[in-house]
Amino acid sequence: MVSRARRITDVPRSSAAAPFALAIALALTACSGGVQGKPGASGVSDPYFPKLGNGGYDVTHYDLTLSYDPGTKRLKGTAEITAKATQDLSAFNLDLKGLDVDEVTVGSVESGGTGGEDADARWNRAGHELTVRPHDDLDKGETFRTTVRYSGTPETLTDPDGSEEGWLRTADGALALGEPTGSMTWFPGNHHPSDKASYDIKVTVPEGLQAVSNGELKDETTLNGRATFTWHSAEPMASYVATVAIGTYDITRTATKNGLPVIVAVDPTQAAASKKPLASIPEIMEWEEYNFGPYPFSSTGAIVDRQDDVDYALETQTRPVFPGAPDTELLVHELAHQWYGDSVTPKTWRDMWLNEGFATYAEWLWQEDHDGDTAEETFNSLYQGDYYDDPDLDEALWSFPPAKPSSAAHISDSPVYERGAMVLHKIRQTVGDDTFYDILQGWAAAHRHGNADTADFTAYVEKSAPDADFTEIWEDWLYGEGKPAKP
């Protein structure tokens, strides 16, 4: 996501097994003797979103089959979720907001990807928690498949910072955006960035519309007035950067010099203004690979929608979303996230500066290499208070340290973006360009397709430059309150 583009500003159905009956069943199971499973945690204790995500299992793959009609605004879906139990499980939770659950089944999966027949599971709803009780307990290490059939009118959520996400209705369809909590409005899952998985997303829409998603388009068919698009993402993806864009798009397919597919979908109203900046994607990719290391995914591109439909950009994996025609710096920012945020994903939402500080610094480096201000000049302008030309924004930059946002409402504020980038520049000043670029590339490689937190990063920097002293940078710039006494 990019800061300058973001906005600043029920009783669910359940199965026949009611919550009380489910609790009794769990209690009886626990008393029946032998090694018994326990319920997985409802939430992973994220410091800002403690009830997001769930414990007891790790998802390896989502297979989503969706059907959406913009006329009725109804979504029908089947989510087949393959996961591995990380403890003996008697029950586990999925995050799902608002939609009606019609059926849940659970079955074991053998090493070859097959298994016995799935059995109906008991389940109940409480807020966004869908609690599933399999017919048989799951053993630690067991791979299992959960299938959830669901339907309804998906919701749009409002974040603590006031921005909207989830299932956004557009002029001609819908756009699904997930940072940080919106993905649970359109499919059930373990919706925390610490649990990444591969995806297959099949979307059926009325003929004449397109459905664009992450990864590569594997199949496109039309039957009885309905068009179906099947997308595959082989590399692990956090659910908050999964997307579906439904509407009328001009879709182009090109490639970089290295043969990387570039898939771009543009709302026709934005086509003329978007043509020139989007044509620069191959150049930007070549520059970013030179600076950040090998690109971590098997395709790239962009989705450009109308500004009336969405008012911020988001680094949806392989195919960032833009509100209207992007400028070059915004493209640089969101494409840099493919390394920093999408491939190297934060362990918790407290670590957002590892996403946004890096992507913001990528903009500074691009400007420096393309006859703009140097990163040093941008750093000094921020420190001296003449970058924003607004005293309130200058003061807000120092309202909290990058590694400790003051609340969930502020994980996308300027201390995370610009002050986060300033931390990186202080490292560059300390170690010099050669070591600094080694750190940028090595960090992306060390945690490729994984998760990392701030402690991982500081340890990596210290290991990469063992003779340097980073105490002042960590204490004053990364964790320290207020404006450091000297630049």
Q: Residue 394: inside a domain, yes or no?
A: yes
Q: Do 282 and 254 touch, CB atoms closer than 8 A?
A: yes
Examine the pLDDT at 85 and tell me if it is beyond 90.
yes
Closest CA to 477 of 411, 431, 425: 425
Amino acid found at 297: F
Domain final residue pick, 196, 230, 248 = 248
The total of structural domains in the chain comes to 2
Exposed (0-12), middle (13-18) or buried (19+): which is 167, by Cβ within 10 Å?
buried
Q: Residue 130: inside a domain, yes or no?
A: yes
Examine the pLDDT at 25 and tell me if it is beyond 80.
no
Domain final residue pick, 187, 221, 248 = 248
Which residue has 């003051």 as its token pair? 406
C-alpha 12/C-alpha 147 separation (Å) is 19
Examine the pLDDT at 403 and tell me if it is beyond 60.
yes
pLDDT per position as a tens digit, 435-452 = 999 999 999 999 999 999
- Enumerate the β-bridge partners of residue 210: 247
Model confidence band, residue 117 (pLDDT cutoffs 50, 70, 90): confident
Domain final residue pick, 230, 248, 266 = 248
Q: What is the CATH number of the domain that holds 369?
A: 1.10.390.10
pLDDT above 70 covers what percent of the chain?
Answer: 92
pLDDT recorded at residue 35: 60
Closest CA to 426 of 352, 355, 348, 479: 479
pTM for the model: 0.92
pLDDT recorded at residue 113: 56
Rounded average pLDDT over 81-88: 99
Residues 235 and 356 in one domain: no
**Residue 134: cis peptide before it, omega within 30 degrees of 0:** no
Q: What is the mean pLDDT of the chain?
A: 94
The shares of helix, strand and coil residues in the chain, as percent rounded to the nearest 5, are 30, 30, 40
Q: Do 369 and 418 touch, CB atoms closer than 8 A?
A: no
Give CA 337 to chain center in angstroms.
10
CA dihedral 190, 192, 197, 202 (to 10 degrees): 70
Which residue has 């191959």 as its token pair? 282
Which residue has 């962009």 as its token pair? 302
Q: Residue 224: inside a domain, yes or no?
A: yes
Examine the pLDDT at 267 and tell me if it is beyond 60.
yes
- Domain residue limits at 172: 10-248
pLDDT recorded at residue 114: 59
DSSP of 142-194, one letter per residue?
-EEEEEEEEEE---EEE-TTS-EEEEEE-SSSEEEE-TTTGGGGTS-B--STT
Amino acid found at 212: V
Residues 244 and 349 in one domain: no
Q: Residue 18: inside a domain, yes or no?
A: yes
pLDDT recorded at residue 116: 64
Residues 348 and 244 in one domain: no
Residues 105 and 234 in one domain: yes
Examine the pLDDT at 31 and tell me if it is beyond 90.
no
Model confidence band, residue 111 (pLDDT cutoffs 50, 70, 90): low
Q: Residue 334: inside a domain, yes or no?
A: no
pLDDT recorded at residue 5: 37
Residues 226 and 87 in one domain: yes
Q: Do 239 and 178 touch, CB atoms closer than 8 A?
A: yes
Helix or strand or coil: residue 327? Answer: coil
Exposed (0-12), middle (13-18) or buried (19+): which is 363, by Cβ within 10 Å?
buried
- Enumerate the β-bridge partners of residue 148: 79, 104
Residue 138 tokens read as: 């799951």
Helix or strand or coil: residue 306? Answer: coil
Q: CB under 8 Å to 73, separation ≥6 — which residues?
A: 153, 169
Q: Residue 457: inside a domain, yes or no?
A: yes
pLDDT recorded at residue 112: 56
Rounded average pLDDT over 164-172: 97
Q: What is the CATH number of the domain that holds 170?
A: 2.60.40.1730
CA atoms within 13 A on the CB side of 339: 27
Distances (CA, A) of 333 to 289, 360, 362, 417: 14, 6, 6, 11
Q: Residue 302: inside a domain, yes or no?
A: no
Q: Residue 262: inside a domain, yes or no?
A: no
Examine the pLDDT at 402 and tell me if it is beyond 50.
yes
Amino acid found at 346: P
Examine the pLDDT at 174 and tell me if it is beyond 50.
yes
Residues 58 and 184 in one domain: yes
